Amino acid sequence: MRLLLINPNTTEAMTTGIGDAARAVAAPGTTVRAVQPSFGPRSIEGHYDETIAAAGVAEQVRVHAPWLAGDPRAGVVIACFGDPGLDAAREATDAPVIGIAEAAFHMASLLATGFSVVTTMTRTCVIAEHLVLQYGFERRCRGIHGTDIPVLALESCGEETLAQIEDAARAALARDRSGAIVLGCAGMAALCRTLQQRLGVPVIDGVAAAVKLAESLAALDLRTSKHGDYAMPLPKRYTGWAEPLGW
Ligand code: 5HY
């Protein structure tokens, strides 16, 4: 299958790293195309960043629509923990679109009665809280914890940063009485296995979870419903810099 992996921020190194993490778990028949918007924030750490990044996700789904259309089992992953532009992307293609937060919440809920989220900037915790409610996981998510590690600091993550995330996860497991950890940033994907070994509990990276869920939907020949609110966008002109995004 063809898998379009969208890093909604505009940091090439993160796009490459996320692509590597996806290919590390992808099935042999899965071709991963890792992309990022032509505009937008270098990292996504708040509501304003998310808003602009969502338009960038829509842009990338439009740009790569012909590639997706060439495979009846194609899929899309939005590789940012705020799942920016998820509903818009689901309108813009009939390929399944999986956000890494939603994917991680589902996977964690199969492994423990309660999970905790450990993320980057504390100010972004409310975004994850909104997603927990939007997706209906309020009975399973026991806590969301920021580390105040900037997203781009994960690009040069050494033992000190890794230990900081490990400590935050250990504290979350005790405080929340949870049984699993969800990593709250696509940039943490490469840390997942080490953290799982150190913590001794399931640690879920949303990038890997989303890739495998997209493959599962493809294997079951399941695609986004075009009946109702995920029908293709209504034809209309867009103006200014957004003109190419119109239908
Ligand atoms: C992410 N930001 O996964 C989120 C993490 C966050 O640029 N990629 C980003 O803190 O919301």
Tell whether the model's pLDDT for residue 133 goes beyond 90.
yes
| Average pLDDT of the chain, as a whole number | 97
Tell whether the model's pLDDT for residue 157 goes beyond 90.
no
Residue 205 exposed, middle or buried by CB count within 10 Å (0-12, 13-18, 19+): buried
In the chain, the percentage of residues whose pLDDT exceeds 90 is: 98
Pocket test for ligand 1, best of 14, 43, 121 (most atoms within 8 A of CB): 43
Distance 177 CA to ligand 1 centre (A): 25
Helix-, strand-, coil-residue percentages of the chain, each rounded to 5: 50, 15, 35
* Contact residues of ligand 1, CB 6 A cut-off: 9, 43-45, 80-82, 119-121, 124, 151, 185-187
- Model-level pTM greater than 0.95? yes
Residue-wise pLDDT tens digits, 29-41: 999 999 999 999 9
Output the CA angle 58-60-66, nearest 5 degrees.
110
Residue-wise pLDDT tens digits, 10-54: 999 999 999 999 999 999 999 999 999 999 999 999 999 999 999
Q: What does the pLDDT read at residue 156? A: 84
Pocket test for ligand 1, best of 81, 83, 98, 205 (most atoms within 8 A of CB): 81
Q: Residue range 134-139: average pLDDT? A: 98
Distance 46 CA to ligand 1 centre (A): 9
Residue-wise pLDDT tens digits, 95-106: 999 999 999 999
Pocket test for ligand 1, best of 14, 16, 44 (most atoms within 8 A of CB): 44
Hey, what are 27's tokens?
Answer: 């099935």
Distance 146 CA to ligand 1 centre (A): 12
Nearest to 185, CA basis, from 2, 12, 21, 3:
21
Q: Residue range 203-213: average pLDDT? A: 98
Q: Map out the domains of the chain with their CATH numbers.
A: 2-99+208-245 (3.40.50.12500), 101-206 (3.40.50.12500)
Distance 124 CA to ligand 1 centre (A): 8
